[in-house]
């Protein structure tokens, strides 16, 4: 392995100059920096992570908290975060926050306290008061993505507005019998709970259209294609099938489309379906959706945490992320 001393000798400078040139910190002329970079590249020199950490006081590593890895939304957001951080020379350590209280406590009480990360990004996670306190106590830059937290800098979509746009699209087409596939009928205690926010937006859109929210039907779909299929089958096999379904995720909406096909229903003739996310398969299925640009969310989160680390610009305490209704073939006016 090539050492920093060898790079210094080959470039005709001191090791301290090589260190400054490669780290980007300290005064080095442009010509010298170019010569050092070219020499390091020619020799195949790679900066030691441990040495860099000792010199800078940083690990060049960002901790990412997320509930699951194998769902499309989370993997797409994570890809955006990874892209943004890798460009800046940062690694990622993933911490899965499951519903198991003991496992969650270990993440906050042990893993994060080892100080092996320079900052933390929390993706679409409802943290309780104790967990937020533990994160704040770390004294590290923290960005919450997808779920707003009053004590943490947050980048979030207005999920109430997202649901109102999606449901409002259906009411504008003339639908009055609209069902919702999302969270359980009971509201979550945590007001930042994303499924609860989307249900609230659904009911507000019904009220906007003069439709009593109490008359709406709700089915739990667990945010998977299979869950959406099961929920839609229950709705469509009922005594009064809806003319439209708003699913709180594209995966559940795709499940609803498959359920309609399995029952011989025409979409959008017999049933209109709209989802949320901008899933990569939504175009293939002709699904009307509210695109929340998850890859772009990841890039924004990476940029925000890097800005805090570099102290170049302050992170906005609460910033709204964009979304857009994309109308496709799965929605149309009701035929009856």
Token pair 């010298």 is at which residue?
Answer: 32
Same fold, 4-56 and 159-291: no
pLDDT score at 55: 46
Place domain 61-157+294-320 in its CATH homologous superfamily.
Response regulator (3.40.50.2300)
Assign 67 a pLDDT band (cuts: 50, 70, 90). confident
Residue 138 has pLDDT above 50, yes or no: yes
* pLDDT tens string 247-266: 999 999 999 999 999 999 99
Q: Is the four-CA dihedral 163, 166, 171, 176 of positive or negative sign?
A: negative
pLDDT at 43 over 60: yes
Query: Contact, 246 vs 163, CB < 8 A?
Result: yes
Q: Where are the domains of the chain?
A: 4-56, 61-157+294-320, 159-291
Contact 219, 169 (CB under 8 A): no
End-to-end CA gap in the chain: 74
Which whole number is the average pLDDT over 208-223?
A: 90
Separation CA 221–CA 200 (nearest Å)? 16
If pLDDT is split at 50, 70 and 90, which confidence band does 288 have? very high
Distance CA 177, CA 186 (A): 21
> Strand, coil or helix: what is 68?
coil
Nearest to 81 by CA among 249, 303, 321, 309: 303
User: Is 159-291 assigned to CATH 1.10.3720.10?
Assistant: no
**Which of these ranges, 47-51, 308-312, 331-335, has the smallest mean pLDDT?**
47-51
Q: How far is CA 2 from the centre of its chain?
A: 40
**The pLDDT of residue 38 is above 60:** yes
Mean pLDDT, the chain, whole residue set: 86
CATH of domain 4-56: 1.10.260.40
The C-alpha atoms of residue 307 and residue 60 are separated, in whole angstroms, by 14
Please spell the DSSP secondary structure of 134-187, one letter per residue. HHHHTTS-EEEESS--TTS-EEE--HHHHHHHHHHHHHHTT---EEEEES-SSP
């Amino acid at each position: 392995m090539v050492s920093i001393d060898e790079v210094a000798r080959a470039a005709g400078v001191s090791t301290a100059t090589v260190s400054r040139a490669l780290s980007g910190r300290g005064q080095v002329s442009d010509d010298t920096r170019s010569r050092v970079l070219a020499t390091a590249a020619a020799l195949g020199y790679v900066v030691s992570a441990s040495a860099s950490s000792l010199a800078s006081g940083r690990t060049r590593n960002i901790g990412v908290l997320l509930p699951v890895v194998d769902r499309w939304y989370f993997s797409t957001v994570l890809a955006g975060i990874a892209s943004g951080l890798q460009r800046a020379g940062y690694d990622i350590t993933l911490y899965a926050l499951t519903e198991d209280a003991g496992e969650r406590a270990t993440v906050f009480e042990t893993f994060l306290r080892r100080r092996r990360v320079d900052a933390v990004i929390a993706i679409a996670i409802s943290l309780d008061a104790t967990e937020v306190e533990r994160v704040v106590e770390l004294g590290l830059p923290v960005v919450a993505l997808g779920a707003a937290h009053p004590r943490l800098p947050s980048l979030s979509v207005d999920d109430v507005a997202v649901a109102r746009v999606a449901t409002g699209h259906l009411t504008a087409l003339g639908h009055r019998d609209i069902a919702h596939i999302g969270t359980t009928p009971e509201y979550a205690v945590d007001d930042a709970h994303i499924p609860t926010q989307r249900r609230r937006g659904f009911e507000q859109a019904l009220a906007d259209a003069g439709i009593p929210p109490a008359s709406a039907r709700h089915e739990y779909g667990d945010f998977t294609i299979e869950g959406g299929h099961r929920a839609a089958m229950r709705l469509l096999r009922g005594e009064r099938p809806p003319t439209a379904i708003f699913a709180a995720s594209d995966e559940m909406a795709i499940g609803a489309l498959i359920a309609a096909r399995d029952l011989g229903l025409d979409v959008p003739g017999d049933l209109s379906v709209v989802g949320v996310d901008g899933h990569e398969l939504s175009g293939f299925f002709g699904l009307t959706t509210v695109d929340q640009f998850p890859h772009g969310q990841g890039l924004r989160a990476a940029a925000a945490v890097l800005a805090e680390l570099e102290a170049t610009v302050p992170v906005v305490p609460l910033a709204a992320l964009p979304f857009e209704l994309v109308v496709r073939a799965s929605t149309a006016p009701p035929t009856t």
